[in-house]
Amino acid sequence: MQCPKCKTENSERVSYCVRCHTPLKYTCPACRHVQLQGGICEKCGVNLAKYAAMQVFLAKDAAEEKRQNTGWRPPLWAHIIFFPIPAVIQLTLYLVRKARRQ
């Protein structure tokens, strides 16, 4: 197999050119099909470059989600204690307005 870049003759078993390390074979990340050119997988049609980029994106997304989950959250008691406050304020304002009207 000849390297497309430096034209060195390589063994069929190597995945990279022994001289310039250009990839001679591409493995599809989705179906593990090995082919001689990058771009689109000949077997499942996956775009190899796009698929790789998507994997990175998903990994980043998962990491972000994990970080958010470990972030601080108000405990349940805080909700119970602070939730009635706006209701109390509303009620007070209502009562004050009612008292003034009379």
Q: Which residues contribute to the site for Zn ion (CB under 5 A)?
A: 3, 5-6, 8, 17, 19-20, 22, 28, 30-31, 33, 41, 43-44, 46
Name the residue nearer to Zn ion (CB basis): 37 or 92: 37
Burial 16-54 (b: 16+ CB within 10 A, else e): ebeeeeeebbbebeeeeeeeeeeeebeeeebebeeeeee
Q: Which is nearer to Zn ion, 1 or 46 (CB)?
A: 46
Least CB distance to Zn ion at residue 20 (A)? 3
Nearer to Zn ion, 34 or 78 (CB): 34
| Three-state DSSP class for residue 44 | coil
